[in-house]
């Protein structure tokens, strides 16, 4: 499968008004791509457009709530009318909550699914229809390590990311079967220093945060843009996330117990709630325009794990075999129950 060079592409990016989406938009413009940016916050989008155009970027913004299928259809049509079409579609928009499954109202559960799962589905459907006619392209879905392993206090978000992983895998198989020439990649970030925790609706007593280690959103942007031009099945961002995912799969019960003991405390930041004007954008947009969160955290600027995954398939395959061997060894060494029945 051959994809265009990034500087020859038009990218559609949802959730582009902050965090990973905004980091991706900025990096894409600097590498010569044209971008169509979507989010709910029209004012923030206009400010972002002006800043990127000052850098010489080819930029269009379209206020969009991806939970509404008609709005996503209009987004695709706007890209076609302005740039003649698009080459990569990046489903990045997300909504989140903190709290137990009982604390979070069912309406908030539904909103998380409307944005994270159905918003991704809406984007995939319009992108497939256009890219099939165009002769190929790339669809990039933003998943999470929480699609591999759920975490306490983020049950609804974890559930949506499990669903996004299943959606992405299914779409990839369907398109491969028909030889559509469309690459489908799932990006799986670990904890990233974005306004995520500030934007989330919370039912915890203390301000929410993402558990360390945190990585820079520029790394997510790097993974996304790499996948726009280079077919990959999935890319993890951050070695800490890969380790968490691996441990969760090899020793699920031990991971359960660890989360029950320290999971809530690791996701709270007493005395440091971040910017008040960003708080709770679940149902309505709040302050946007920032790539990073405003809480005091340490951010890792590099990810050797990501760089390793970007190597040619020979090297990537070797790494996969090595990880597989570690998993197999851990399972062999895992204590087994001994029957005491006669």
Q: Note down the domain range covering 96.
A: 6-333
User: C-alpha angle 114/120/125, rounded to 5°?
Assistant: 115
Contact between 168 and 184 under an 8 Å Cβ cutoff? The reply is: yes
* Model confidence pLDDT, tens digit, residues 93-135: 999 999 999 999 999 999 999 999 999 999 999 999 999 999 9
- Rounded to two decimals, the pTM is 0.91
Determine whether 215 is an active site residue. Answer: no
Q: If you search the block for the tokens 């076609």, which residue do you land on? A: 80
pLDDT on residue 56: 96
Residue 27 located in a structural domain? yes
Overall average pLDDT of the 223-230 stretch: 98
Confidence of residue 329 (pLDDT cuts 50, 70, 90): very low
Residue 295 located in a structural domain? yes
**Which residue in 157, 10, 154 sits closest to 76, CA to CA?**
10
Higher pLDDT, 315 or 3: 3
Share of the chain above pLDDT 70, in %: 91
Q: Is the pLDDT of residue 54 over 70?
A: yes
Q: Output the average pLDDT for the chain.
A: 93
Confidence of residue 1 (pLDDT cuts 50, 70, 90): confident
Confidence of residue 315 (pLDDT cuts 50, 70, 90): very low
Overall average pLDDT of the 162-189 stretch: 98
Structure tokens at 240: 């800490």
- End-to-end CA separation in angstroms for the chain: 59
* Model confidence pLDDT, tens digit, residues 249-274: 999 999 999 999 999 999 999 999 99
Query: CB count, 10 Å around CB of 180?
Result: 17
* Model confidence pLDDT, tens digit, residues 9-24: 999 999 999 999 999 9
pLDDT on residue 317: 53
Q: How far, in Å, CA of 276 to CA of 151, rounded?
A: 25
Q: If you search the block for the tokens 């049509």, which residue do you land on? A: 77
Residue 1 located in a structural domain? no
Supply φ then ψ for residue 291, to 5 degrees: -80, -40
Residue 329 located in a structural domain? yes
Q: Go through the chain and tell me how many residues it has.
A: 342
Q: Cis before residue 323, ω within 30 degrees of 0?
A: no
Overall average pLDDT of the 146-156 stretch: 97
Residue 90 located in a structural domain? yes
Overall average pLDDT of the 202-206 stretch: 97
Q: Is the pLDDT of residue 297 over 60?
A: yes
Overall average pLDDT of the 279-283 stretch: 97
Domain count for the chain: 1
Residue 294 located in a structural domain? yes
* CATH code at position 57: 3.40.50.720
pLDDT on residue 314: 42
Q: Is the pLDDT of residue 308 over 90?
A: yes
Residue in 157, 196, 215, 236 annotated catalytic: 157
Residue 339 located in a structural domain? no
Residue 338 located in a structural domain? no
| Of 220-229, 304-313, 321-330, the least confident | 321-330
Share of the chain above pLDDT 90, in %: 90
Q: Is the pLDDT of residue 338 over 80?
A: no
């Amino acid at each position: 499968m051959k994809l265009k060079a990034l500087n020859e592409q038009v990218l559609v990016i949802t959730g582009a008004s902050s965090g990973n989406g905004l980091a991706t938009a900025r990096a894409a413009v600097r590498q010569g791509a044209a971008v169509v940016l979507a989010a709910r916050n029209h004012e923030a989008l206009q400010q972002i457009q002006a800043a990127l155009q000052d850098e010489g970027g080819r930029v269009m913004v379209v206020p969009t709530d991806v939970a509404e299928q008609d709005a996503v259809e209009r987004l695709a049509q706007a890209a076609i009318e302005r740039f003649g079409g698009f080459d990569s579609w990046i489903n990045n928009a997300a909504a989140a909550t903190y709290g137990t499954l009982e604390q979070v109202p069912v309406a908030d559960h539904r909103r998380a699914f409307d944005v994270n799962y159905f918003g991704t589905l809406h984007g995939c459907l319009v992108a497939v229809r256009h890219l099939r006619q165009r002769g190929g392209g790339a669809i990039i879905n933003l998943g999470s390590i929480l699609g591999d392993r759920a975490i306490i206090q983020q049950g609804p978000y974890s559930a949506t990311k499990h669903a996004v992983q299943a959606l992405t895998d299914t779409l990839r198989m369907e398109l491969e079967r028909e030889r559509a020439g469309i690459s489908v990649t799932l990006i799986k970030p670990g904890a990233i220093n974005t306004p995520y925790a500030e934007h989330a609706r919370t039912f915890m007593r203390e301000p929410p945060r993402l558990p360390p280690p945190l990585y820079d959103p520029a790394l997510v942007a790097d993974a996304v843009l790499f996948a726009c031009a280079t077919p990959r099945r999935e890319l993890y961002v951050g070695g800490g996330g890969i380790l968490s995912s691996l441990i969760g799969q090899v020793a699920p019960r031990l991971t359960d117990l660890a989360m029950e003991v320290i999971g809530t405390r690791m996701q709270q930041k007493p005395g440091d709630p971040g910017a008040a004007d960003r708080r709770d954008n679940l149902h309505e947009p709040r302050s946007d325009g920032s790539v990073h969160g405003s809480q005091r955290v340490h951010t890792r600027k590099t990810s050797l794990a990501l760089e390793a995954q970007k190597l040619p398939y020979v090297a990537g395959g070797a790494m996969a075999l090595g990880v597989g061997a570690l998993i197999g060894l851990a399972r062999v060494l895992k204590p087994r129950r001994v029957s005491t029945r006669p």
